[in-house]
Structure 1
């Protein structure tokens, strides 16, 4: 079955942010996420999941273990398990990105 934001399971998180589950099973999660201007997720890590963030639109900052990395459209970054990270949108526009987690990061997030 074809999947997109229009027919995927939707959820809200954080400060008015959105996510759409494109793939959701125990071994793999692929989520299309949107963060409005001037929003951020909490700093956290995952005990088991490795993640890959890939920018679809806009410019994000991801803080990884204290280093701030700028991600622009078409760029991505891997975050290994047990690595503190926080995605931020410091711009005045919405950003959209994919977050791919293996295994699924559900119930695996530890806030810092």
Structure 2
């Protein structure tokens, strides 16, 4: 795997080099044949790097479906850091980075919900055709299963569920679970499909 990472690093450097050359050429408005070649070659390099990285990051199971990679952030494991608009030496506000933009699906915010899962209840196993969901637990404790991978969620924990990942959550605790549910749809309005027999 290290060889793959180094290979991607080299490809990124090459792509970055040609993009810098492209910016220089366009800044001087010298878009001759050489600059056109740089444009095409640079775009191809970036597309190849992105495609190869996507291929490496996708595991497929025996049925050819993408295997779940549960991305859970436990509140206590994340440090507070100075917010980006603050003086790092003397910040007025701190933040915990839950997910970075490259971990989130491109699309539009489909929903921002404050949800409640009462004691002893479960929500139906389902998936969304093109919507990625993020759950941020505000209170209580719950269990969640995402494409067969089970995790525990506590106050402050966050989980990211990709489109087409079957998920269900249940509350076996002593208090209601309240959580924020944020959905990012890629184009089909986050259509929900309930899965029978899960």
| Alignment pair present for 1:61 and 2:138 | no
Matches within 5 A, 1:1-80: 27-28=108-109, 29-80=111-162
In the TM superposition, residue 27 of structure 1 has moved relative to its aligned partner by 2.8
5+ residue gaps in structure 2?
1-106
- The residue aligned with 1:97 is 179
CA contact (8 A) 2:130 2:189 kept: no
| Alignment pair present for 1:111 and 2:168 | no
Separation in 1 of the partners of 2:142 and 2:127?
18
Q: Over aligned residue pairs, what C-alpha RMSD do you find?
A: 1.9
CA contact (8 A) 2:146 2:168 kept: yes
TM-score, scaled to structure 2: 0.41
Identify if the C-alpha distance between structure 1 residues 52 and 69 changes in structure 2 by more than 3 Å, giving closer, same or farther.
Answer: same
Rg (Cα) greater in structure: 2
In the TM superposition, residue 107 of structure 1 has moved relative to its aligned partner by 6.1
Separation in 2 of the partners of 1:95 and 1:111?
21
**DSSP-derived class of the 1:40 partner:** coil
Partner deviation per Cα, 1:65-106 (whole Å, 9 max, x = no partner): 112110000100100001010011111211100010012996
| Alignment pair present for 1:85 and 2:152 | no
Separation in 1 of the partners of 2:149 and 2:166?
10
More helix per residue: 1 or 2? 2
**DSSP-derived class of the 2:133 partner:** strand
5+ residue gaps in structure 1?
1-25
More strand per residue: 1 or 2? 1
TM-score, scaled to structure 1: 0.71
